[in-house]
Amino acid sequence: VAWDPLHEYGGFGRTVSNLAELVQAMKAPRFALCFNPGGDVDAYAKKFDVVCRAVFAAGRCTFLVEELSQVTKASWAPQSWRNVTKRGRHQGLRVIGCTQRPADTDKDFFGGLTYCRVFQLRFRPDKVVMADLLDVPYAEVAALVTTEAETSTHQVTTINYLERDWRAGKSGKNHITLKRPKKGAT
């Protein structure tokens, strides 16, 4: 199940925007669903609560939450989300949270992570949170950049990141390279 306010995950499953339809679809033995909560951000809290309750009840699935800072705060999260993040492992849940604003996001969620990846951030408070979480110097997080370059045939994007896997006891720097052919290049 994906909480998908930006319509980014439709390729991974059926997109629904009706809570009753989502809950019903989650009763199937197998499902791949993207819930789009609509454009009314003020209604997100109630909808997110229902989705979290449904995910917890269904168990045995992956729950991806995009734009986590829109539905949690630095020192507050709905009880249903706390159930997902603190007790979800016992329900067979795998939880993935994405945010561009770590400083504004539920810190209890960060405290229970088994794996984290951080990319370039703009604001100092976000960089501080991630440096603390990853237990690395602030300068390492601040140095993360995404670069664009051109070759004669491709547009190349390099996305640098830091990651930590607490279970495996590993951490480090890495990057993703994306190559797109230039228009008209052969």
Q: What is the pLDDT along the chain (186 residues), one digit of tens a residue?
A: 999 999 999 999 999 999 999 999 999 999 999 999 999 999 999 999 999 999 999 999 999 999 999 999 999 999 999 999 999 999 999 999 999 999 999 999 999 999 999 999 999 999 999 999 999 999 999 999 999 999 999 999 999 999 999 999 999 999 999 999 988 766
Decide if 160 contacts 146 (C-beta within 8 A).
yes
- Listed residue (154, 96, 134, 42) closest to 121, CA to CA: 134
Task: Name the helix (H) or strand (E) containing 173.
Answer: strand 170-181
Decide if 85 contacts 126 (C-beta within 8 A).
no
Quote the CA–CA distance of 168 and 183 in Å, as a whole number: 42
